[in-house]
Amino acid sequence: MKILFYAPHTEAAAWLHDFARALPAADLREWQPGDNAPADFAVVWRPPREMLAGRTTLRAIFNLGAGVDAILALERAHPGTLPPEVPLIRLEDTGMGAQMAEYVTHAVLRYLRRFDEYQMLQGERRWKVLEPHPRATFTVGVLGLGVLGTQVAQTLASFGLPVRGYSRSAKQIDGIATFAGDAQFDSFLDGAKVLVNLLPHTPDTEGVLNARVFSKLARGAYLINVARGAHLVEADLLAALASGQLAAAALDVFREEPLPADHPFWREPRITITPHTSALTLREDSVAQVADKIGAMMRGEQVSGVVQLERGY
Ligand code: NAP
Ligand code: GLV
């Protein structure tokens, strides 16, 4: 069994070493430009078009991340990049759920307990007790109730916060008020105090974090975007902060990454910035999951995590 690997931002040697241990019979190689030799599986992150195009004998392409927006954007720009009939399989959790729950909980509790404002007061050497936010109305809305959004929503609910969740298809999750589809979107947003985004980036969700959506939230609401930068209309966020409709935002993802040094977000003290780090791809967990799925496919079994191309995630 031949496996092609391409993930230039990683330590390829360490990944190949771990895959060799998990799949001792596999013949593993890191893809180099010009390598057209046959392969059974490809394991990739943001591959160039020429790596995959025409590889019709692949049994599967594994994406080393939860989001497949970059590879699908490449396919839209250059149709045929993804060989037809070859399943594209994304990572499912692999330790990202716990990381996301930590990141979002940290941000929500920081706003609930007003630690962000205390930090600013400390900068001014001011000793001042702020009125607590009432927990019962500190409603958190989680956009996306997939692998990551569900764990985030359930973790937040465990703090006794009112939590809502929004997805494409209807769901039932204990302790979460669920909303689905366009018809229920405004009810989901209505008066929420925190909006957390964990949607995939697809043509349907591009720019979903915009002025209209912010206007439906409670006045002085908070935004936490941990999904993709393309979900956010950046000018609308700055305007909502200026008007007071939003009180603050925690952003982990940006339209341009790294965020350019002259970007206005760096100068806005109510925006907290992290460098796309809310849920990292963990090598050990990811190798174990991909290796298990390769084993299952070799035995002719079905695997989960197959991307539905027409849906975009
Ligand atoms: P997932 O399991 O595919 O869940 C996606 C959720 O979004 C599902 O609940 C889906 O609804 C919902 N959804 C999709 N399109 C929708 C639409 N048009 N309207 C309403 N709901 C919609 O994905 P995941 O594993 O949770 O990951 C979510 C995203 O997180 C990834 O795509 C990636 O962009 C981002 N991410 C970021 C980081 C980071 O470090 N910042 C790390 C990992 C992932 P259904 O359940 O009805 O299908
Ligand atoms: C990271 O952003 C991922 O999609 O896994």
Domains observed in the chain:
2-92+281-311 (3.40.50.720), 96-273 (3.40.50.720)
Q: What is the pLDDT along the chain (313 residues), one digit of tens a residue?
A: 999 999 998 999 999 999 999 999 999 999 999 999 999 999 999 999 999 999 999 999 999 999 999 999 999 999 999 999 999 999 999 999 999 999 999 999 999 999 999 999 999 999 999 999 999 999 999 999 999 999 999 999 999 999 999 999 999 999 999 999 999 999 999 999 999 999 999 999 999 999 999 999 999 999 999 999 999 999 999 999 999 999 999 999 999 999 999 999 999 999 999 999 999 999 999 999 999 999 999 999 999 999 999 999 9
Ligand with an atom nearest the CA of residue 285: 2
Catalytic residues: 228, 276
Q: Which run of H or E residues covers position 12?
A: helix 12-22
Residue nearest to atom 45 of ligand 1 (CA): 168
DSSP state of 160: T
Backbone angles phi, psi at 248, to 5 degrees: -170, 165
Do residues 238 and 269 touch, judged by C-beta distance below 8 A?
no
CA distance 58 to 35: 14
8 Å CB contact between 225 and 197: yes
Ligand 1 atom closest to Cα of 149? 26
- Centroid of ligand 1 to alpha carbon of 93 (angstroms): 11
With a 6 A CB cut-off, is 67 part of the ligand 2 pocket?
A: yes
Q: Whose CA is closest to atom 5 on ligand 1? A: 146
What is the number of the ligand 1 atom nearest to the C-alpha of 90? 25
Contact between 208 and 231 under an 8 Å Cβ cutoff? The reply is yes
User: What pLDDT does 162 receive?
Assistant: 98
Q: Is 305 in the pocket of ligand 2 (CB under 6 A)?
A: no
Angle, CA of 104, 309 and 305, to the nearest 5°: 55
**Ligand 2 atom 5 nearest Cα:** 65
> For residue 59, which of 123, 132, 3 has the smallest C-alpha distance?
3
Is residue 5 within 8 A of residue 19, CB to CB? The reply is yes
The single-letter code of the amino acid at 129 is V
- 201 CA to middle of ligand 2, Å? 11
pLDDT for position 9: 86
- Give the predicted TM-score (pTM) of the model: 0.98
CB 279 within 8 A of CB 96: yes
Residues in contact with ligand 1 by the CB-under-6-Å rule are: 66-67, 96, 144-149, 166-169, 198-202, 204-205, 226-228, 252-253, 276, 278-279, 313
Tell whether the torsion through CA atoms of 166, 106, 233 and 241 is positive or negative. Answer: positive
Q: Residue 269 CB: number of other CB atoms within 10 A? A: 11
Q: Cα–Cα distance between 225 and 232 in angstroms, integer?
A: 8
Residue nearest to atom 1 of ligand 2 (CA): 65
Q: From the CA of 305, which ligand is nearest?
A: 1
Mutate to test the pocket of ligand 1, among 142, 196, 198 (most ligand atoms within 8 A of CB): 198
How many Å lie between the centroid of ligand 1 and the Cα of residue 168? 10
Q: Is 66 in the pocket of ligand 2 (CB under 6 A)?
A: yes
What are the tokens at 187? 């009810």
Q: Nearest CA to 34 among 16, 48, 13?
A: 48
DSSP state letter for 220 = T
Element (DSSP H or E) covering residue 259: none
Distance CA 16, CA 30 (A): 8
The size of the chain, in residues, is 313
Nearest to 136 by CA among 103, 159, 155, 114: 159
